[in-house]
């Protein structure tokens, strides 16, 4: 499949338009019996959503894999998502594609990017520890012990210790290596000190936008006041002119609807 261009989406309206265009292409592909036309429409879906795949690939840079390799793996995940997405499932394409692409990149690290081979269970345990560590550090105001991590994850201390002992088995790059973006800089000059949480935020916004556009103005305002402005349910009720109990019911119903819409389909294997 030739991948030659991408569509830039800088606003919520752009993302909603991309989602609508993707669905239109998918519907035309489903209705077609011409295999050449179906393949052409599939390629259009992939090209339309390349920016999403590239954004996910960028999130995993600096972990020992080449940027070009990461992008190719992300593209593969996007192609799989386009192949396996089901129109009848009431989920936006982006809600299926992002977990599929992210899963493909993670499998690449798990299966291909290890200098020293260690059991898969320890590779997966390292990922679990990495996901829980910031939360525990914030709670304890210090680095947790292996026993505290094991208790939090409900696993044996020995498993945590083995996973931590294997830390660093990913491929490593010299910090003296020239940076990709500027030959006058080394990798040490440009590598980030901390993870860029903005990528997670962008992914969340991308997944939410098509779903939020389906809410009415009142529901969107209540969500904005509650989760953006930080108002209490009572304050929202006074502003809108209803009781706190009514606001509570609207919030519960709206959030249940969003959870249903955002529950990922099984990702493509």
Residue 135 CA, chain-centre distance (Å), reads: 19
**What is the pLDDT, as a whole number, of residue 185?**
45
**What is the pLDDT, as a whole number, of residue 46?**
92
**What is the pLDDT, as a whole number, of residue 75?**
92
Cα 11 from Cα 200, distance rounded (Å)? 16
Given 79, 114, 149, which residue is the final one in a domain? Answer: 114
Quick check: is 125 in a domain? no
> What is the chain's pLDDT, residue by residue, as a tens digit (269 residues)?
333 344 566 677 778 888 889 999 999 999 999 999 999 999 999 999 998 898 888 887 766 677 788 889 999 999 999 988 888 876 788 888 888 898 888 888 776 655 555 667 777 787 788 878 778 877 887 888 888 888 888 888 888 888 777 665 554 444 444 544 444 444 444 444 444 444 454 455 556 666 677 788 888 888 888 877 778 888 888 888 888 888 888 888 888 877 776 655 555 55
Q: Which two tokens stand for residue 183?
A: 């030959």
**What is the pLDDT, as a whole number, of residue 155?**
87
**What is the pLDDT, as a whole number, of residue 123?**
72
The residue range of the domain holding 240 is: 214-262
Same structural domain, 219 and 110: no
Beta bridge pairs of residue 251: none
Quick check: is 204 in a domain? no
Cα 235 from Cα 244, distance rounded (Å)? 8
**What is the pLDDT, as a whole number, of residue 244?**
87
Report how far apart, in Å, the C-alpha atoms of 124 and of each of 17, 23, 25 are: 37, 34, 37
CATH number at residue 220: 1.10.10.10
> Do the Cβ atoms of 70 and 105 come closer than 8 Å?
yes
Given 114, 129, 150, which residue is the final one in a domain? Answer: 114
8 burial via Cβ count (<10 Å: 0-12, 13-18, 19+): exposed
**What is the pLDDT, as a whole number, of residue 209?**
64
**What is the pLDDT, as a whole number, of residue 192?**
43
The closest alpha carbon to 68, from 51, 81, 80, 54, belongs to 54
**What is the pLDDT, as a whole number, of residue 252?**
86
Quick check: is 32 in a domain? yes
**What is the pLDDT, as a whole number, of residue 112?**
65
Quick check: is 17 in a domain? yes
Burial 212-242 (b: 16+ CB within 10 A, else e): beeeeeebeebbebbeeeebebeebbeeeee
Cα 107 from Cα 31, distance rounded (Å)? 33
**What is the pLDDT, as a whole number, of residue 111?**
67
CATH number at residue 20: 1.20.120.1810
Quick check: is 198 in a domain? no
**What is the pLDDT, as a whole number, of residue 208?**
65
Quick check: is 97 in a domain? yes
Total domains present in the chain: 2
Backbone angles phi, psi at 184, to 5 degrees: -85, -10
DSSP 28-93: HHHH---HHHHHHHHHHHHHHTHHHHHHHHHHTTTSSS-HHHHHHHHHHHHHHHHHH--TTSSS-H
Given 96, 114, 132, which residue is the final one in a domain? Answer: 114
> Do the Cβ atoms of 92 and 264 come closer than 8 Å?
no
The closest alpha carbon to 58, from 195, 189, 185, belongs to 195
Quick check: is 165 in a domain? no
Cα 103 from Cα 267, distance rounded (Å)? 8
3-state DSSP assignment of residue 72 = helix
> Do the Cβ atoms of 43 and 78 come closer than 8 Å?
no
Quick check: is 25 in a domain? yes
**What is the pLDDT, as a whole number, of residue 41?**
93
User: pTM of the prediction?
Assistant: 0.48
Cα 98 from Cα 106, distance rounded (Å)? 12
């Amino acid at each position: 499949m030739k991948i030659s261009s991408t569509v830039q989406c800088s606003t919520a309206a752009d993302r909603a338009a991309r989602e609508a265009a993707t669905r239109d292409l998918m519907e035309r592909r489903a209705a077609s019996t011409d295999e050449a036309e179906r393949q052409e429409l599939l390629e259009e879906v992939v090209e339309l959503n390349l920016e999403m795949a590239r954004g996910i690939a960028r999130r995993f840079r600096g972990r020992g894999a080449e940027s070009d390799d990461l992008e190719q793996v992300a593209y593969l995940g996007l192609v799989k998502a386009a192949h396996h997405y089901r129109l009848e499932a009431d989920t936006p394409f982006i809600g299926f594609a992002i977990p599929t692409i992210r899963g493909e990149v993670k499998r690449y690290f798990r299966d291909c990017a290890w200098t020293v081979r260690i059991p898969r269970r320890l590779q997966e345990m390292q990922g679990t520890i990495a996901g829980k560590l910031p939360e525990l550090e914030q709670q304890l105001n210090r680095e947790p012990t292996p026993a505290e991590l094991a208790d939090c994850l409900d696993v044996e201390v020995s498993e945590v210790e083995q996973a931590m002992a294997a830390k660093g088995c990913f491929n490593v790059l010299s910090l003296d290596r020239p940076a990709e973006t500027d030959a006058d800089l080394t990798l040490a000059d440009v590598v980030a000190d901390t993870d860029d949480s903005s990528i997670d935020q962008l992914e969340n916004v991308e997944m939410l936008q098509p779903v939020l556009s389906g809410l009415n103005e009142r529901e969107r305002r209540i969500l904005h006041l509650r989760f953006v402005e930080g108002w209490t349910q009572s304050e929202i009720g006074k502003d809108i002119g209803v009781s706190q109990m009514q606001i509570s019911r609207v919030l519960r119903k709206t959030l249940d609807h969003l959870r249903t819409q955002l529950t990922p389909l099984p990702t493509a294997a």
